[in-house]
Every structure is written in structure tokens, then in C-alpha cells.
Structure 1
Amino acid sequence: MGGERRLGQASGPADRAPAGRWAARLALLVAAGALALVLAAAGVSSLGLLGVGLAGLVVTAAALWWTLSRRGLVRVLAAALALLTPGAVLLAYAIVGLLWAVLSALALWAVAALIGRAALAADAGRPERRQRSTPPPKAPYLIMNPRSGGGKVGRFDLVAKARARGAEVVVLDPEHPQDVEELARRAVAEGADLLGVAGGDGTQALVAGVAAGHGLPFMVISAGTRNHFAMDLGLDRDDPSKCLDALTDGVELRVDLGLIGERVFVNTASFGAYATVVRSPAYRDDKVRTVLRELPDLLTHHMGPRLTVRAGQVAIEAPQGVLISNNPYGLGDAAGLGRRPRLDSGALGVLGVSVDNAAQAAGLLRGQQSRGLISLAAEEVVVHADAPDVPVGVDGEALELPAPVVCRVMPGALRVRVPRDRPGVPEARPPVDWRALGRLAW
């Protein structure tokens, strides 16, 4: 197609195999070196060292569960156990004179994992993303929240810079809340040919829904606090003024949108314990105390609605927490659930956590192999509850929706205008599959 080109297209096997193969071999060599170091230093007692370390992890996980799910003296004792156990394990290693070997082996293993993850990512190739050259907008309309991100709109002089590029800018008044959807609809009626937001993900989602409904391009200015959507679009989160380059030298992407009921979301919709806690009137004034007070009843199903989640052919019964995302997040990211390799897969990500006792909490250490952790993708997810209404956190906004709640993906629903030059999308970071690494190495 005329103005369309592909970004991040995966190279063919012949192009990437040699580099990926040698990186995989290096990762396996470093991992073997970590094991050899422990064997050389400890001999047959290395099995005992491994057992002590695994036992420490299990005890710590169980203690954390008791800390969150109990009150009073049991909680205090469990918290103390969770804090003291790792120190006790390290002290045991130090007493037998092998702390240096264990720490060195852990460092080598971490290096091996980093190299292995890079090798697998290179072998898989980066997800293909299409961008299309389009002419600059003639009547862009931007909504800016001066309080977002601790005042980034003012700190980076975004209003003046946007107006200098020909945009009409409306600055929200924090003392007098305005309906941003109505502002956006009015702008469209008056001839705006692009809608954009400098603010949080919740505000971005509302305006993105209006843009998608009218087939207009949408522009994200990374002036929020976390900027998850901006990060996954490859935008500069350190300097939001660079996002304004899209007004004069931009390209267009097609991305998916999530829909919960009739409301659009760009990042996530969360159900369960977290969503219920943030609905509490006391949460805003005292977050920590509110969480510690309400979590025990939520985790043991004595408070809050009992959920059943159906995603395709899979049912998740009575989870304590469910996260539904606009495209799946990468579980292999060392930083946690913070990145989506792509925003155009045409699927929702579903992550469910079901833990009913300390043993199951310890089982979460197995990651994606844990029975208490379910991760999958689906085009539609239905959340049932034993209550008429369900607390939901949608892109950081606390809501209550009538059950059952239906979440769907709208593939390619949103045209997003981004700068031609931008940092780029974070690379996919799959978890280290040592069997796959072995196959790649040979």
C-alpha cells in the first residue's frame, strides 16, 4: 500500500539464527558455570544448599500470605517471619562459609537468564507493527490536565508549544470538573480533525473512545504519572513535549481498544480485591491502613462479590483478583506486568489469581506453571458475580458496574498519530524457557 510500511518485521531464520544460536550457547554456558561454581565450592552438600534456599522461598511466600490474610497477633508474627526468613537463609550460608559461592552463582544465573531472554526474543523477532504516513491535521484539538503527572503540562510548557504548532488547546480546571467526552464531541462537531490528551490514562481512554467513534486520529501526550499507554506506543515518557512532534511530522498506527460494558479502556480493567479496596471511602486518605484492614476478608471471600470469570472455553472460579488488559501484558518482564509487546493482536489479556491458603501462595513461585495463576488471551471475557453490582478499576478509575460485566476487544478501532521519531516499543521479553534455549543453541 502506498504510504504504509512495516516496522519491527521479524527477520527470516537465516538472518537471525547465527546470532541467536551463539547467544543461546553463551546463556547455557554461563548457567552451567553457576552450577559448577556451587558444586566446586560445596560438593555434595550443594543439594542441601539448594534445599535450604527453596525452603526459605516457600516459608517467605506462606508468611506473606498470612500477613495479608490475617489480623492481630498472627499478622504481626507472619510479617516478622517474612522479614527474618531471607536473612536466616543467608546467615546459614555464611556460617558454613558458602555465602560468597551462593551469591556469585545467583549473579551468574541472573546473567544467564538475561542472555537467554535476549536470545529467545531475537529468535522470535519483534512484533510487526505497521505505520502509515498521513498529512498533518488542519484543526487539532487537545485537552490538557494541568495536575497530571505532578504538573507536567506546566513544567514542559505544553500549552504554548502545542498552540505554536497550530493546535487548539483546552486546559481543564481542577476546581471545576468538566466532561471531557462532551468537550471532545463538541470539538468534533466544530470541525476538529484530531483529538488528543495530555493527562492520565483514564482521561485518554474517554477521549480515545470519541475519536474512534468518529473515525478521527487520536494523539497521546505522555503527561500522566505512569503513562502505560504512551510507553506501549513507543512514545517518549521523559519529555512529553516531544509527543507534540506528531502534529507536524507524524505517522499513524492502528491499535485495538478494550470495551467494558459501553466504556472504552486503553490499558486495564481490574476486578476482585484491589478493585473493592479502592472503592472504599477511606482509601484515598489512608491507603496502607485501608488495604491491611480490608484484605483479610477479601482474600478469604468473607467480603466482596464472589466472581466467576469466563474467557472463551476457560472458567476461573472464585479468583481473588482478575486483570483484563487491552492486549496481553508480558509476564516475562523482570519489571513485572508493565509492558505489552503489541497493541494490535486483536485479543484481551486475562490474568487471574486464585489463592486460598498458604500452600497455594507458595505455589505462585512456580510462575505461569502455578495452579493459582491463570494467564490467557481471549476476544471476550464475561465476569459474573453473586451480587448485583461489581467494583471495577478501569484505567485507574474506580467504578461499580452491574453484573455480569462483559469485556470485549475492538480490533484496530483506534487511529493513533505518533511522532515519526520516537524511542520505540519495548522489546518483547519472554520468560526464559530453558528447553527452547537448548533447542536454539543446537
Structure 2
Amino acid sequence: MNRRWTARLALLAGAAALVVLLLFAGFGSVFLLLVGAAGLVLTAVGGWWVVTRTRWVRALGALLALGAPLAVLALYALAGLLWVVLVSLGLWALAVTAGRAALADGTSRPMAEHPAGRARRPFLIMNPRSGGGKVEKFRLVERARALGAEVVVLDPEHHQDVAELARRAVVDGADLLGVAGGDGTQALVAGVAAEHDVPFLVISAGTRNHFAMDLGLDRQDPAACLDALTDGVELRVDLGRIRAGAGSARSGEERVFVNNASFGVYAAVVQSPAYREDKARTTLDMLPDLLTHHSGARLTVRVGGRTLTDPQAVLVSNNPYRVDDPAGLGRRDRLDSGRLGVLAVEVAGAAEATDLLLRGENSRGLTSVTAREVVIEADAPAVPVGVDGEALSLPTPVHCRLVPGALRVRVPRDRPGVPPIAPRMDWRRVRRLALTMGRVAAGRDDGPSGSGSSPTASPGA
């Protein structure tokens, strides 16, 4: 189905969703909308009480957050309108999905691939504990050595400086560095690879493998990443760098991050010694004071000429994350945009929590910007920071910056790739695409110059 007909399907499904409500619910459609909105508000209020209150108020909040949606469904069922709501929601979901598909013009530029010769002396570091034992499960050590790589398996019982291991390998003649492990270990070795301008190999043996996902690697089969040793191409990707203390972000010792650096609530929670033993309880115990600023440092973020004061959570990422699509959360469209992504959350009460739930990226409580440099200040001499999942405490101010194209990543020529994320929904563009392209195709619109513009040159295409 071409884009024009997909756009028409979106308009038809959206109209049908409204028709179903009006035709079968009549004036009751107003009741449905009001009850649904009230349910969302009560759910948001209950959720806010759960994370900011304790004891009986928290219990009441949990009851409200769980009970409000169930009560809404029960009211719909008693009114005999539950099926109307479900059909209407289904049609609306179809309309949004079709509309986003119609707006995807297929012109997004993938990260450029560069030819890569075969490494003569690849050096790989493997963490046997990463991902619940993926190194052993997929026989990564044996397979890598069979391809000519030197492999060092980390000793789980003793701390080893992986960055120093990588530096020694380069001095000894290694012409490729690679890691089978989590994103934190990946970042440490990636910094050495960038420093010496040698290719870096990512083996998706970690638990989440966010960096591997955004590189388009196969996260289900880490062994497939080893194909880059024999038939690979290179991607030039950006690197984030973080430096603590006063002075220029370009001076002094810096640490690399391939994914993100987090400040505020999350960073403070993971610093707790109790977090590893009981993540859920520790988080619930600490959230009330952190979210209401009764504990923890008060942050100030300086980014792109703007100043953000008192955000509860800040995420600085190596290239921006998607925030306009739930399916794309935690993903980056690309890793070579040359910009840091900055997400800051500031929610002062239940009303703003409701606004964040209902309006998402457009809410007042969420700030999303991009920049080349970010400075995090605080009313404390040091702040907790999570750097690619590793809990640190850094002196303030903390400087984050991006180095475009700093890392040469060796990836297999044949790989799954990054799944496309549809663009944000824009009903005006969908309507223009459905109607204007139809007129052009029928020869009734010759364009502004009357020269017979092609359909792809029409507005909205």
C-alpha cells in the first residue's frame, strides 16, 4: 500500500473511531470521555502518592492507581458501552499507526559504512558474568580464538582494570579492541580505542546491550558480532565525555560514555548500598524524599544558553533518545548526529504528574533539548552520577560534552540493523498527503509553476 492510500486509511480509521462513539453512544460519548479522563487523572494522582508518600497514604495511592482504571471499565460495562470503547480505541490505534506509516517517507539516512580490512591482531576482553553467562553459553572465547583473536577472560573474583588491559594490548600491537560485556565495560575500552584511533568491536553479551541495539547488532546472538572480524565494515560514531570539577570540560581527565550519564533521582538510588540487595524496596524507600527535595542535591543544568533549575532527574545521552513514541523509548535514531541529548524531569505535584502522563513530551514537566556541551551544577560539593550504568560520585560542577565521529566501530556487514521508528504523528500532514497527492496523481494540480510537479514534490510528501 503506497503512502497516499495509507494516509487515507488513517483518516478513515480516525473518522470511524469518532463515528462509532457518536453512533452507538450518542450523548453517552461525552460521558465516556469524561469518565476516561477522570480515570487517567486519578491514576496519575495515585501513582504520585505511591512514589512521594509513605505508609497509609502510599497504600491509598496504590489502591487509587489500580482501582481507577478498573472502576472506569466497570462503569463502561454497566452502561453497556464497553465494546464501543474498545472498538473506538482499536480504530484510533489503527489510525495513528497508519498515519505514522504514511509519514515515513523512507528517506532517513542510515549511518555511513566505510570499508574495513581484516584485523591482523584483534584483542578482545570478555566478562564471563555479563548477561547471565552469555560468554560461556555462546562459546564466545573459543569462536573468537578460532578467528585469530587474542582473548582475555576477566576473573570475576578479582578487579581488573580493563582500560589498562586495552592500552597494553595496543602497545603490544593490537589493531582492534573489542569487548563482550556490559555497556560500562564497553565504554571504558571504547575510550582507549578512540584515544589510539583503532577500531572497536562490540559483542552483545551484556544484559541490556543498549549500545549494541543502536548499532543495529544482533542482541539475541552475540556470536554473530564476531563476523565483523572476517567480513566487517566501519561506522564512525560519536562519543560522550564527562569531566568533574571546575574548569573547562576540555581540560583534565575525562571519562567516556557510549550511552548516557544520569543525575538526580535514579543516580542517587543506585548509589545506595541496599540497592543491589533489594532494588524495589530501596527505590520506594528513597523516592519520597528525593522527589520532594527533602534529600539529595538540588541540580542546576546549563545547556545551550538555557538554565534548568531543580529538576529531579537529568539524563545526558550520547545522541538524543526518542521521547515522542512509547515504542521508541530507550532508543536512538542514530549515533552520529553530533549532539548530546538532554532530558530533564521536574514534577512538583500530582497535577504536574497528571500533565506528564497525559501530554508526554509536550508536558511542562519534561524538557528535551540537544547540545554539544552540558554543565551540571549543584548545591553540594559532589553528586551521584550513573555513567553507562556504573554508580559514581563526582565533584561539581560536572561537564558533559560530545566528540563527533570519535569512535571507529567495526560491525558485521550482514546484521539486523536498527529497526525504523515512525515519525511523530501530524494529522495536518496526513490530511495533506491523502488529499493533495490524490489531486496531483489525477493531473488536477500542476504545482505552483504549472509545470506538472511530480507527486513526491507535493506538500507533505
| TM-score, normalisation: structure 2 | 0.90
Task: Give yes or no for the alignment of 1:376 onto 2:359.
Answer: no
Q: Is the 8 A contact 2:118 2:231 kept in 1?
A: yes
Matched with 1:407 is 400
Task: Give yes or no for the alignment of 1:353 onto 2:345.
Answer: yes
Q: Paired residue for 1:254, among 236, 243, 248? A: 236
Q: Paired residue for 2:196, among 214, 219, 224? A: 214
Matched with 1:398 is 391
Q: Paired residue for 1:438, among 428, 431, 438? A: 431
1:72 to partner: Cα distance:
1.2
Task: Give yes or no for the alignment of 1:72 onto 2:55.
Answer: yes
Matched with 2:285 is 293
Q: Paired residue for 2:73, among 90, 109, 115? A: 90
1:112-191 paired onto structure 2 within 5 Å: 112-120=95-103, 122-123=104-105, 125-191=107-173
Matched with 1:10 is none
* Partner Cα separation in structure 1 for residue 288 and residue 153 of structure 2: 42
Partner SS state of residue 414, structure 1: strand
Q: Paired residue for 1:330, among 305, 314, 322? A: 322
Q: Is the 8 A contact 1:127 1:342 kept in 2?
A: no
Partner SS state of residue 2, structure 2: helix
Task: Give yes or no for the alignment of 1:231 onto 2:213.
Answer: yes
* Partner Cα separation in structure 1 for residue 400 and residue 432 of structure 2: 38
Q: Paired residue for 1:282, among 259, 274, 288? A: 274
* Partner Cα separation in structure 1 for residue 191 and residue 410 of structure 2: 15
Q: Is the 8 A contact 2:324 2:361 kept in 1?
A: no
Q: Paired residue for 2:84, among 81, 96, 101? A: 101
Q: Is the 8 A contact 1:349 1:377 kept in 2?
A: yes
* Partner Cα separation in structure 2 for residue 58 and residue 89 of structure 1: 12
* Partner Cα separation in structure 2 for residue 277 and residue 202 of structure 1: 18
What is the letter of the counterpart of residue 419 of structure 1? P
1:116 to partner: Cα distance:
1.7
1:234 to partner: Cα distance:
0.5
1:428 to partner: Cα distance:
2.6
Q: Is the 8 A contact 2:324 2:360 kept in 1?
A: no
What is the letter of the counterpart of residue 109 of structure 2? P
Unaligned runs of 5+ in 2: 244-253, 436-461
Partner SS state of residue 391, structure 2: strand
Name which of structure 1's ranges 291-300 and 109-118 shifts more when overlaid on structure 2.
109-118
| TM-score, normalisation: structure 1 | 0.94
* Partner Cα separation in structure 2 for residue 430 and residue 89 of structure 1: 32
Partner SS state of residue 123, structure 1: coil
Matched with 2:25 is 42
Task: Give yes or no for the alignment of 1:201 onto 2:183.
Answer: yes
Partner SS state of residue 157, structure 2: coil
* Partner Cα separation in structure 2 for residue 366 and residue 209 of structure 1: 38
Matched with 1:386 is 379
What is the letter of the counterpart of residue 359 of structure 2? R
Listed one character per residue, the Cα deviations across residues 95-153 of structure 1 (whole Å, up to 9, x for unaligned) are: 11000010111112112222222222x22622332101121110000000011001000
Matched with 1:27 is 10
* Partner Cα separation in structure 1 for residue 106 and residue 40 of structure 2: 32
* Partner Cα separation in structure 2 for residue 105 and residue 299 of structure 1: 37
* Partner Cα separation in structure 1 for residue 381 and residue 122 of structure 2: 42
1:431 to partner: Cα distance:
2.8
Listed one character per residue, the Cα deviations across residues 59-108 of structure 1 (whole Å, up to 9, x for unaligned) are: 10111011100011111111101100000000111111000010111112
**Number of residue pairs aligned between Structure 1 and Structure 2:** 424
Q: Is the 8 A contact 2:269 2:282 kept in 1?
A: yes
Q: Is the 8 A contact 1:126 1:428 kept in 2?
A: no
* Partner Cα separation in structure 2 for residue 314 and residue 441 of structure 1: 39
Q: Paired residue for 2:94, among 111, 119, 123? A: 111
What is the identity percentage for the equivalent residue pairs of Structure 1 and Structure 2?
A: 67
Larger Rg: 2
Name which of structure 1's ranges 421-430 and 82-91 shifts more when overlaid on structure 2.
421-430
Partner SS state of residue 314, structure 2: strand
* Partner Cα separation in structure 2 for residue 19 and residue 404 of structure 1: 52
Unaligned runs of 5+ in 1: 1-17
Partner SS state of residue 348, structure 2: coil
Listed one character per residue, the Cα deviations across residues 296-315 of structure 1 (whole Å, up to 9, x for unaligned) are: 00000010000011110222
* Partner Cα separation in structure 2 for residue 116 and residue 382 of structure 1: 39
Q: Paired residue for 2:301, among 302, 305, 309? A: 309
What is the letter of the counterpart of residue 70 of structure 1? R
1:225 to partner: Cα distance:
0.5
Partner SS state of residue 26, structure 2: helix
